[in-house]
Chain A
Amino acid sequence: MTMIDFSNVTKRYEETGDVLRNVSFELEKGEMAFLTGHSGAGKSTLLRLIAAMERCSRGQIIVDGEDLSLAKESQLPFIRRKMGFIYQDYKLLHDRTVFDNVALPLIIAGYGHQEVSRRVRASLEKVGLQGKEKKYPLALSGGEQQRVGIARAVVNKPPIIIADEPTGNLDPDLSAEIMNLFRQFQQVGVTILIATHDISLISQMNNRVLKLDHGQLVQS
């Protein structure tokens, strides 16, 4: 079953021209792939298109059966709930506790108090952060903050995880730990796309690599 499907996707900006040109690829359920390429190759743009934060200029993007270019603006939040996003800068809310940060997707989705509490604890346990619920993100180390970000991304049990340079700020040991987490998610059937330019990381893991060069997919 195809979870992410790009068909001849082109993204053009008025100022810079084509950032992505005729990109086509498919990611199956439970597949883990790396997205790589030089900076400015279009990695971030591609991720933003999947996140439906922008729409493509041409082509078709289907995420878990939903055509993003046909979806109404009001439907997009519900499509985004199928995906968990992980960022290099973690994107945590510093004025909220770890618990509240992780709970955010569940509260947005309208889960009841008990269900939120149960799932947040389970998610934090999964990433090895049990007992840190009441801490604030800035009181945690970089690796711990990234794991809060991962806990938030998976708390809603999404079928897809998108990670943008998830190990960019972490040392090799921590990176390996994070990758290990991803592998565990993959084993339960989650589709994972990781954007990175960490070559050593990619070579360690024997996964499919999508390589972008000046907006075109040169390896898939």
Chain B
Amino acid sequence: MKRVNKNRIKKDPPIKQVKQENKQTALSGGGYNDKVIAYRDLHIHALFSSLGRMIATPFSSIMTIAVLAIAISLATGFYVVVANIHQLTGSLETSNQISLFLREDVSDTHAKKVVENIRVNQSVQSVKLITKEQALEEFKEYSGFGDAINTIKKNPLPIVLQVLPKNALDEKQGLDDLLKSFKQLPEVDFAQLDLQWVDRLQAIIDVAQLFASLLNILLAAAVLFIIGNTVRLEFYSRRAEVVISKLVGATNAFIRRPFLYTGFWMGFISGVSAWFIVAILMLILRSSVERLSGLYDGAMHLLFLDFAETLFLITASSLLGVLGAWAVLYCELRSTKSQ
């Protein structure tokens, strides 16, 4: 279009002198201070009028926010569960002890000799002997089968030696060698490096964590699309207003503003609702988790979102709301440009 114009201007000698400087200020009102106040008032008005519009249609607002809150609380719930399990493994990671289960025919006195033999090994820090009787007591206490066990005449539990190696966790090879040497002892029925199952658990948690992260991305996308679509519907229902505003000189920023606040409110209210949903779920779960934790020597305290995480949750959902609304408006305003 510009090229055509230039050609035309070259052909026609009486060129119109065109002022191309921006006359924005000439037709905007008032002094600088007034403008700042007017601009602030515009934002305050948009903030509350968009909230007012949502309240004016409570049924659809509540349904949309419920869907959003459930999506966000799912994401938050996964995060909390993973954080709790992570905490659990955190306390387990320090245990790299080796458990040696002795053969059934090994007596307590024999076991003590074995303990002495192991203790001289340079790579061993300490050895703890758990006799059959001690093991049974412990089992009674923690398993909850106390009475049932009393009816068993013969103690089925083996003598256990808990060996704490000197090696640090990362020296896997050393630990493996030590484990092998223990396995070769004639008194040992079965030797197990506790680290193995910690490793496995850690790997499982890593998978869960990755899964939760992917799921959270999907849920964030869902929130974005739901808010985007809601704002799009709102935009269509207020199309007359948009067109009229445009005709009387509204900038795209002016037209966008109330819709962005709608997105903000939806994200914000959904974020706060999600926090409450997760809090209620946690309250329901708490007593069960505490009982479970008690069985594991209180290794686990139920973690909930701290202040920073709560702030992040609400900020992130509000931002998602604004972003969803902005993306939709960007496309819609581009397409209404020529209409």
Interface residues of B in 225-258 (CB under 8 A from A): 240-241, 243-252, 254
Q: Which residues of A contact B42 (CB under 8 A)?
A: 107, 110
Tell me the complex Cα distance, A8–B14, Å. Answer: 13
Please tell me which stretch of B4-12, B130-138, B163-171, B184-192 contacts chain A, meaning at least 4 of its Cβ atoms lie within 8 angstroms of it.
B4-12
Distance (whole angstroms) from the CB of B338 to the closest CB of chain A: 6
B29 near A54: Cβ-Cβ < 8 Å: no
- Please name the residue on chain A nearest to B2 by beta carbon: A70
B-contact 0/1 string along A169-200, CB 8 Å cutoff: 00000000000000000000000000000000
Chain B residues within CB distance 8 Å of chain A? 1-2, 4-5, 8-9, 12, 16, 18-20, 22-24, 27-30, 34-35, 37-39, 41-42, 240-241, 243-252, 254, 337-339
A110 near B5: Cβ-Cβ < 8 Å: no
| A interface residues, how many (CB within 8 angstroms) | 42
B337 near A73: Cβ-Cβ < 8 Å: yes
Which of the residues B8, B24, B29, B245 comes within 8 Å of A8, measured between beta carbons? Answer: B8
Chain B CB within 10 A, most for which of A60, A66, A106, A108: A108
B-contact 0/1 string along A110-124, CB 8 Å cutoff: 111101000000000
Q: Does A75 contact B (CB under 8 A)?
A: yes
B-contact 0/1 string along A35-65, CB 8 Å cutoff: 0000000000000000101110111101001
Distance (whole angstroms) from the CB of B40 to the closest CB of chain A: 11
Q: Does A132 contact B (CB under 8 A)?
A: no
Q: Does A34 contact B (CB under 8 A)?
A: no
Q: Which residues of B contact A82 (CB under 8 A)?
A: 27
Which of the residues B16, B30, B247 comes within 8 Å of A112, measured between beta carbons? Answer: B30
A91 near B247: Cβ-Cβ < 8 Å: yes
Query: Taking A59-B8, A69-B5, A110-B39 as contacts, is the C-beta distance between A156 and B247 under 8 angstroms?
Result: no
- Please name the residue on chain A nearest to B4 by beta carbon: A58
Q: Does A85 contact B (CB under 8 A)?
A: yes
5 A–B contacts, CB within 8 A, in A order: A7-B8, A66-B20, A77-B252, A106-B29, A112-B30
Chain B CB within 10 A, most for which of A92, A107, A109, A110: A110
Distance (whole angstroms) from the CB of A203 to the closest CB of chain B: 30
Distance (whole angstroms) from the CB of A164 to the closest CB of chain B: 11
